[in-house]
A and B are shown apart, each in its own frame.
Chain A
């Protein structure tokens, strides 16, 4: 199974972001390069129904992608949270996955005391799970 290496501090940041936005879904992107994830960007969820869906604020996404572009990085991960369902891509997640090169990381707060993180690639409708390796 392909692995997704991610610093423990970044995992903690993702989970903290998810908890802070609960019961709305949180979202963000991580810029990185061949050495892996480098910087996490929390983004505002501006979907009209933020408990059920997420849409990253385009202006904040633009700022994050500008920083990522200037650093010669790429978007290596897009993360969001599920607040009442497992950490697995929903049909909506699959339909709107427009970054085939990125890892889609999901944090579930279905059990708020025990958040779970899983990671996937979503390419042309096919979901492949990656093993998360915390570094």
Chain B
């Protein structure tokens, strides 16, 4: 499945400064792997060594937070938009 991935500024150093890139896969996990093969370093920025999404990264598949749809095992469809959104947080 071909997916558009929207990349936040902090991660654009991995994409040649592109704010959106194409990737493929049938789950979010596969899309992240596909992204990393084209843009090394992106997976590490999104997923911990333990295989979970980093605590301060939100990932939306279209309008759904993937934490509530199966996390990295969330299925994706052709034409979906994956948005990587670092948290806006502090104290």
Binding site for B on A (CB under 8 A): 25, 27, 29, 43, 47, 52-56, 58-59, 61-62, 65-66, 69, 74-75, 78, 80, 89-93, 95-101
Contact across chains for A65 and B83 when beta carbons are under 8 A apart? yes
Task: Choose from B6, B10, B63, B90 the contact partner of A80 (Cβ within 8 Å).
Answer: B90
Contact across chains for B58 and A62 when beta carbons are under 8 A apart? yes
Binding site for A on B (CB under 8 A): 6, 8-10, 19, 56, 58, 60, 63, 65, 83, 85-91
B-side contacts of A98, CB under 8 Å: 8, 10, 56, 86-88
> What are 12 inter-chain pairs, A to B, with CB distance below 8 A?
A53-B90, A54-B88, A54-B91, A56-B88, A62-B83, A69-B19, A78-B88, A93-B91, A96-B89, A96-B90, A96-B91, A99-B88
Contact across chains for A61 and B91 when beta carbons are under 8 A apart? no
B-side contacts of A62, CB under 8 Å: 58, 60, 63, 65, 83, 85
